[in-house]
Amino acid sequence: MPELPEVETTRRKIEPLLRGRVIANVEHDAPHKYRDTHLAVGRRVQGLSRRGKYLMLQLAAADATEADPHDLEFIVHLGMTGGFRLEPGAHTRVTLTTEDGEQLFFNDPRRFGKMAVVRPGEYAGMPTLAAMGPEPLSDDFTEADFVKLAREAGAVKPWLLSQKPVSGVGNIYADESLWQAQIHPAQTRLTSAEGKKLYTAIREVMAKAVEAGGSSLGNGVGNYRQHDGVSGLFQLEHHVYGKGGQPCPRCGTDIAKIVLAQRGTHFCPKCQTLKERSTGLSVKGFKG
């Protein structure tokens, strides 16, 4: 957390607050985490985009129009608990102030969020962003390419979490997509039929999650909320994530929870059976 749906919701919500405005100040006390943010001062925000789980503010000279090319990008990774707020709080780490006095506060209880102002395309120190796969809701994410890659993949959930086959899919949406496609999270070397089902599931799950404003889990200080404190609603549609021990909504079997690639993983042992395939990889302990 946050994953693509939460970051996309954040982008849509804060874009009207920043687009067209000149940044007057970026205040924080951690230059090693928020790198070269002084370069944003005096530049106009031409727009906000998103790549996977990264927010990207396009910056140009203060007198530039939207038609002018931007010369810098202000990249934000929310980390596990980061998010923007309209009011400062106990966990405010960064304060953005625009030339007309408006302020936006970056709240991050666990301090895993990062920011950097860079030249467009210069993503040194951000290897995930540099090597990220296509956006799941874009035309670049094609069934044929995904199926081809999936045929040679190792354990499918860690493969998805790598961001290389498709961007923005994290723990929650990997579990939900695999449940919808009825594929075990440790399955390797997907068949063409399995790859097609998973491709469709990823697109459907992500589209629904974005429409619902993402997932807000629990009531803790670090849980995802929109900039105005409003919760996402997709957690109400989760079928397996966080449902360990509860009945599968499809077959009634208790949802299992395992640790796969150091991540808590939820699946239905009956709907998502593990199929033995000759890969040279051990899948012992993951049978459902």
- pLDDT by position in tens, the chain (length 288): 689 999 999 999 999 999 999 999 999 999 999 999 999 999 999 999 999 999 999 999 999 888 888 999 999 999 999 999 999 999 999 999 999 999 999 999 999 999 999 999 888 677 778 889 999 999 999 999 999 999 999 999 999 999 999 999 999 999 999 999 999 999 999 999 999 999 999 999 999 999 999 999 865 555 788 888 888 999 999 999 999 999 999 999 999 999 999 999 999 999 999 998 854 443 444 444
Supply the DSSP symbol for 36: T
Tell me, yes or no, if the pTM score tops 0.85. Answer: yes
The residue annotated as part of the active site, out of 2, 109, 136, 165, is 2
Active site residue 3: yes
Cβ pair 216, 231 in contact under 8 A = yes
Residue 281 φ/ψ, nearest 5 degrees: -105, 140
- Distance in angstroms (rounded) separating the CA atoms of residues 99 and 153: 49
Active site residue 189: no
The residue annotated as part of the active site, out of 164, 196, 263, 270, is 263
Find the length of the chain: 288
Q: Tokens for 78?
A: 């929310």
Active site residue 263: yes
- Distance in angstroms (rounded) separating the CA atoms of residues 225 and 206: 18
